[in-house]
Structure 1
Amino acid sequence: MNKQSALTKAFKAIAVTSSLTMATFGFAGTLTVSSPQDPGSWDPIDTFLVNWASVATNMYDGLTYRSPDLKLQPGLATSWEQLDNGTRIRFILRQGVTFHNGEAFNSNTVKFTFDRLMGDEGRKGPQRSNYAAIDSVEIIDDYTVDFHLKAADPVLLTKLAGYGAMIVPPAYIKEKGEDFFNTHPMGTGPFKFASYEPKVGIKLEAFEKHWGGAPKLTNLNYRFISEPSTAVAELQSGRVDLVIPPTIPIGMISTIEKDPKLKVVTTVSPTVYALRFNTKNGITKDERVRKALIYGVDRQAIIDSILDGQASAISSFQSAISFGEDPTMKPLPYDPNKAMQLLKAAGIKPGAKIQIDIRGNNATFNEVSQAVASYLQVIGLNATIKPYETSVLLNDIVPAGKTGEMFQQSWGGWTLDYDNTAYFMYHTGEKWNPYDSDLELDALLESQRSITDRAKREEILKSIANYTANRALEMPLYSLNAIFGVSTRVKNFTPVPDSRLRLSDVTVD
């Protein structure tokens, strides 16, 4: 056999071995996903963003897991039992699990995760109050822990399936430090961190030793593309395989559907949009003015003309699939005459200025806000729109109370429970409530958190929805479907309402 033949035979052998190895783990190529936002940190306690969860759900596991059918299932805990009238929860942990660096998962890691979340480090981020019911975590043995609660939290098991409750590695964080962990995440999920370039993208690799089995993809790459037209162009060119919400403008759905290599997949979503009011300063301090603004905008016309049937009207800041939504509530009707009467009664002169602060990268909402401004012009107000980079609006403007009279609030409501929205939006001192303080509302919000009777709790949540609507704390706009642009090369993709995509079973032709 000559030298060239020997080399050829050797390369073929390597190729066959490689193919067998890939087949053993079930790997099938690289999936590239377009995400509209870089969350800036991959630490679970640093964020509330859906775009964080759409990536990090693949890197981390929680004690519980909510599957695409929205049912709660075992995650890193194989079972749990609620004791002492719901104020103690015992978790039996999954054995044989490791983090991506080989560090063992056990009771110590669970205690570390929640001590950290409820301690000084967690206090710096937005997730801590979501888990405020947790008093302490007690280690019973290596694979049993008890959560001691200050009061029963009927939503806690769902909260443990996402965001701040993702289990993190103690030894890795202690060795590398908090800042390093922000940009070099480590979990137990089906994909492990490979590289991260801020504002550009993050790359993940299959973790073949995942307790749920190796994922079917070799690599999972995310590109941060804030401009919708660019994301769709990349999808059309094949450089992106999947575009996740809320990127795709309604007006571009037909463009995607006309391409035989692409398809649009939509599903009902808990995501809601509103224009919230500055209740502390300016003309929107007056409840009559706030109601006038709501009467002055034809939200149903916006849904029909701009959103092309991909949205539903809402009467409170929650969707129809949210626990606590009151189906008997009706949105305030479009009534420009009533709006002008209220403005006159409040002493507002024609030409008064209204500033609407929005996220600048959402093309669909840009159209919506332009329509809102036009309606407000009709009732005699001078409405202007001020777009911000999303991270600036969310991190610097809203929490600091530096908005204009109205500001965009988009909320995923991922627990499908109104508490997760209402507490953050309306309770005194919360990050997303920079202006308002209402002791009666605070009491209602606090009271429902300790009630385990589902029917009683639902009634309180409905009363909160009605209370906030009566005070006109925001202009409820709509609940928008989750809209995905997908290449036909992608197989076994299941859209999920909350965009927390677990892509373990996806393949790419």
Structure 2
Amino acid sequence: MKKFKLGLRTALAVLALSGMTVNAAPALAAGKMTIASSQDPGSWDPIDTFLVAWAVVSTNIFDGLTYRGPDLKLVPGLAESWEELDQGKRIRFKLRHDVKFHDGEPFNAESVKFTFDRLLGAEGAKGPQRSNYTAIESVDIIDDYTVDMKLKTPDPVLLTKLAGYGAMIVPPKYIKEKGEDYFNLNPVGTGAFKFVSYTPKVNIKLAANPDYWGGAPKLSELEYRFISEPATAVAELQAGRVDLVIPPIIPIGMLPVIQNDSKLEIASVPGPTVDALRFNTRDGITADPRVRKAIIMAIDRATIIKSILVGQAVEITSFQGASSFGYDPELKALPYDPEGAKKLLAEAGVKPGATIQIDIRGNDTTMNEVAQVIASYLQMVGITATLKPYETNVLLNDIIPQGKTGAMFEQKWGGWTFDFDNTAYAMYHSGEKWNPYEKDATLDKLLESQRPLTDRAEREKILKEIGKYVTDKALELPLYNSNAIYGISKRVKGFVPAPDNRIKLNEVTVE
């Protein structure tokens, strides 16, 4: 039996360090904070989305059984403690007492069971989150404040997954009475801030929850404005109409604008986000692995990072950063070798003047600059690349999943668990949303084989093997692991930048 349990004194200390208190007397909140986020997720239901832009807001509306803050350490959330039973086949969670949803509904074992029955059932099947939690067989109620989570197979990162996205605990009565569609647009959780109003494509407004189990927020209001245009977001920050700009809005080229403004500052921390241009391996010239390798060899990524990203990123060899479990520092990328690229293209029968299309997010200014440079490099080896910008939601929800991309397409991935499984399974396993082209039985077997392992060393070995296999097949042009860059008004006090953009704002004030 393996126990994960915190005594009351220890729990209080841990929560205090993570910016929360337990059963604190409600304080009178004051002040409003306005945040610029680049994207409207379109639904606030935890099972409907994978978007970081959802988590930016919803970390303040919902809670999970566990919580991971800016220091990336896992601590209790709505579960006060947990322990593994039956050689890891069951996890028993002891739940917090006296916690209420924003509508007054009590949080208890029933709401935990409802949340996971819903996630793993027909409703969850409509969204992208269920595949992250398929190790769970069932959630069984032991008593009002104890649940057992039975597992089909061990999942070594499940406790981290319970801290975010699809595992956020939702109110059974509210959803049953109001319906799924209503809940999508009018979210209710147990978090530090309550939903007030939502205007699609414009903003979402929240108000302080004075009864929050982690202590009443110091702010009275939060407003998240959806601003996709970087210049507009920075102008609003300069004008004082926005207090915080969330990554990845701010392009590298606009950093000096903020740094030279005495009222503003930059907060930059190494993050999980990696950028790549992935290949259409089904159609056209990029169906040939020699062509894919030639394209990789044609691009001087080190120069791109130095000249465009000015030190705010590091080069990657696989689709993960150095902080990811499964990262292989020994893995070598294909070198920058334009002459070698030309030879490979000739071997593949690709003649000078061949054309490809690169699909990118229209509002990603930094990637627009990077992609233009990549097109210039490709021109030097005889390939003419055209850039096709898409509205982000269209690219992510239609073009990529439906396999309608050009030869290459932008993929920006948060990898928020800091575990390569969370990225690799979604990107490379047959039938997954983000893998519209590849069906590789060998790769599927590798991905599936590491998930049940509790031996970290053995699992890490397989994850490294996956990284090497994908690199050898040249399924993408890996670019860089970028910093999370926040633009912030100096009026904001108590803000701690989070690598994964999931920021609780209950301890923040605005002067």
Classify the TM-score, shorter chain: over 0.9
**Stretches of 4+ aligned residues off by more than 3 angstroms:** none
Alpha-carbon distance between aligned partners in 1 of 2:29 and 2:445, rounded to the nearest angstrom: 52
- For 2:438, the equivalent position in structure 1 comes to 436
The CA RMSD measured in Å over matched residues stands at 0.8
Displacement of 1:28: 3.1
Return the letter of the residue paired with 2:39: Q
Tell whether the 8 Å contact from 1:86 to 1:153 is kept in structure 2 after alignment: no
- For 2:336, the equivalent position in structure 1 comes to 334
Displacement of 1:154: 0.3
Tell whether the 8 Å contact from 2:69 to 2:503 is kept in structure 1 after alignment: no
Of 400-409 and 81-90, deviating more is 81-90
- For 1:314, the equivalent position in structure 2 comes to 316
Of 200-209 and 81-90, deviating more is 81-90
Tell whether the 8 Å contact from 2:26 to 2:211 is kept in structure 1 after alignment: no
Partner SS, residue 422 of structure 1: helix
Return the letter of the residue paired with 2:411: Q
Cα deviations across residues 474-503 of structure 1 (Å, max 9, x unaligned)?
000000100000000000000010001111
Cα deviations across residues 317-342 of structure 1 (Å, max 9, x unaligned)?
00111010001112221100111111
The correspondence for 2:119, drawn from 113, 117, 120, is: 117
Alpha-carbon distance between aligned partners in 1 of 2:224 and 2:162, rounded to the nearest angstrom: 25
Tell whether the 8 Å contact from 2:246 to 2:486 is kept in structure 1 after alignment: yes
Tell whether the 8 Å contact from 1:411 to 1:421 is kept in structure 2 after alignment: yes
Return the letter of the residue paired with 1:148: K
Return the letter of the residue paired with 1:467: Y
Displacement of 1:24: 6.0
Alpha-carbon distance between aligned partners in 1 of 2:489 and 2:212, rounded to the nearest angstrom: 27
Alpha-carbon distance between aligned partners in 1 of 2:378 and 2:29, rounded to the nearest angstrom: 54
Partner SS, residue 323 of structure 1: coil
Return the letter of the residue paired with 2:210: E
Partner SS, residue 139 of structure 2: strand
Displacement of 1:87: 1.5
The correspondence for 2:258, drawn from 252, 256, 259, is: 256
Return the letter of the residue paired with 1:95: H
- For 1:58, the equivalent position in structure 2 comes to 60
- After TM superposition, list the pairs within 5 Å mapping 1:88-487 onto structure 2: 88-487=90-489
Return the letter of the residue paired with 1:442: D
Alpha-carbon distance between aligned partners in 1 of 2:356 and 2:445, rounded to the nearest angstrom: 32
Return the letter of the residue paired with 2:99: V
Cα deviations across residues 109-157 of structure 1 (Å, max 9, x unaligned)?
0000000000000000000000010111111111111111110000000
Change (3 A) 1:24 1:150: closer
Alpha-carbon distance between aligned partners in 1 of 2:70 and 2:485, rounded to the nearest angstrom: 15
Alpha-carbon distance between aligned partners in 2 of 1:145 and 1:269, rounded to the nearest angstrom: 33
Partner SS, residue 470 of structure 2: helix
Tell whether the 8 Å contact from 1:235 to 1:243 is kept in structure 2 after alignment: yes
Displacement of 1:26: 4.5
Alpha-carbon distance between aligned partners in 2 of 1:375 and 1:389, rounded to the nearest angstrom: 25
Instruction: Indicate the structure (1 or 2) with the bigger Cα radius of gyration.
Output: 1
Number of corresponding residues: 487
Tell whether the 8 Å contact from 2:401 to 2:434 is kept in structure 1 after alignment: yes
Cα deviations across residues 383-415 of structure 1 (Å, max 9, x unaligned)?
000000000000010000000000000000000
Tell whether the 8 Å contact from 1:85 to 1:152 is kept in structure 2 after alignment: no
| Unmatched 5+ stretches in structure 1 | 1-22
Alpha-carbon distance between aligned partners in 2 of 1:244 and 1:453, rounded to the nearest angstrom: 37
Partner SS, residue 503 of structure 1: coil
Alpha-carbon distance between aligned partners in 1 of 2:461 and 2:316, rounded to the nearest angstrom: 18
Tell whether the 8 Å contact from 1:42 to 1:183 is kept in structure 2 after alignment: yes
TM-score normalized by structure 2? Answer: 0.95
Alpha-carbon distance between aligned partners in 1 of 2:26 and 2:305, rounded to the nearest angstrom: 49
Alpha-carbon distance between aligned partners in 2 of 1:349 and 1:51, rounded to the nearest angstrom: 42
| Unmatched 5+ stretches in structure 2 | 1-24
Over the matched positions of the two proteins, sequence identity in percent amounts to 68
Partner SS, residue 421 of structure 1: helix
Return the letter of the residue paired with 1:338: G
Tell whether the 8 Å contact from 2:26 to 2:216 is kept in structure 1 after alignment: no
Displacement of 1:84: 1.6
Tell whether the 8 Å contact from 2:59 to 2:504 is kept in structure 1 after alignment: yes
